[in-house]
Structure 1
Amino acid sequence: MLRFEIDATKSTPRIYFDQGKNVLEIKGESYPENTSEFYGPFFKWLDMRLEQLHEENFTVDIALIYFNSSSSKILMNLFERLEKYAERGKNIAVNWIYDKNDESSLEYGEEFEEDLTTLKFNLVEKAGG
């Protein structure tokens, strides 16, 4: 069960896993009515995928234009999960992609990064942004 894809809606991000590149992309806006219901299947899939990782790199690209407080908690849950796998020796990196004109997005990325010790977390200015 490597493939995973959820199309974006007005209030939920596109979540797409590119098997060939081993890159997970979360892009768009995140303010679903029920974050647990929306993100539950994703976390179940993610845990299964991360358990299957061996030596290969696994990259998570996050480019969220907007997210609400409950989605912020979900993101922290995501980073804590990834951190646990990184502590077990998995090669995981997160790219927090922000627009240079969006100071708050950069600040959120910096705040998330502060809470992590093992997980590689990169702040990446959006190309052309």
Structure 2
Amino acid sequence: MTHDLNIPGSQSTPSIHSDWQAGRLTMQGDSYPENSYELFSRVIDWTEAFLADATHPLVLDLELIYLNTSSVKAMMDIFDLLEESHVAGRRVSVVWRYDVRNERIAELAEEFREDCTFDFAIKPIRITT
């Protein structure tokens, strides 16, 4: 088993937490890091290890507010891993919550969902600050 991720969020990076036992990967916040490869390579490595070694389902739980271009690319890589596993018979799913006032992120989530055949829920919520 691999170590779980516990990456605190910052103004420009989402908080990222994984729970191997529960089969859950959670990301919340804005994502416009200086070096998105550095941030997301750990997430991609964890996801690859989970999909290779674990047998239970994986849920990607997102509450992302803003993603820059390199973060979008990293998310595409993660969704591609999920799609490959789904096609191979693994149970994977995404739940993407977004603030009802943020139509741009809802449209982005919708664009991602169009390329995925696994369960991909987009849920509007009201985020109060």
Check whether TM > 0.5. Answer: yes
Q: In 2, Cα distance between the equivalents of 1:81 and 1:11?
A: 25
Q: Report the equivalent of 1:94.
A: 94
1:48-89 Cα distance to aligned partner (Å, 9 max, x none)? 1111232x2211111111111111111111111110111111
Q: Please state whether the residue corresponding to 2:86 is helix, strand or coil.
A: helix
Unpaired runs of 5+ residues, structure 1, are none
Q: In 2, Cα distance between the equivalents of 1:69 and 1:102?
A: 17
Q: Please state whether the residue corresponding to 2:16 is helix, strand or coil.
A: strand
Q: Does 1:120 align with 2:116?
A: no
How far apart are residue 126 of structure 1 and its match? 2.2
The alignment of Structure 1 onto Structure 2 pairs a total of residues equal to 127
Amino acid at match of 1:68: N
Q: In 2, Cα distance between the equivalents of 1:13 and 1:33?
A: 12
1:8-66 Cα distance to aligned partner (Å, 9 max, x none)? 11111111013453211011110111111111122112111111232x22111111111
> Contact 2:20 / 2:50 at 8 angstroms: preserved in 1?
no
How far apart are residue 94 of structure 1 and its match? 0.4
Q: Report the equivalent of 1:26.
A: 27
Write out aligned runs for 1:1-129 (5 A). Answer: 1-54=2-55, 56-116=56-116, 118-126=117-125
In the superposition, relative to structure 1, how do residues 30 and 128 fare at CA in structure 2: closer, same or farther (>3 Å)? Answer: closer
> Contact 1:53 / 1:90 at 8 angstroms: preserved in 2?
no
Q: What stretches of structure 1 move > 4 A for 4+ residues in a row? A: none
Unpaired runs of 5+ residues, structure 2, are none
Q: In 2, Cα distance between the equivalents of 1:20 and 1:53?
A: 9
Q: Please state whether the residue corresponding to 1:29 is helix, strand or coil.
A: strand
1:92-121 Cα distance to aligned partner (Å, 9 max, x none)? 0001111111111111111111112x3211
> Contact 1:15 / 1:24 at 8 angstroms: preserved in 2?
yes
Identity between Structure 1 and Structure 2 (%): 33
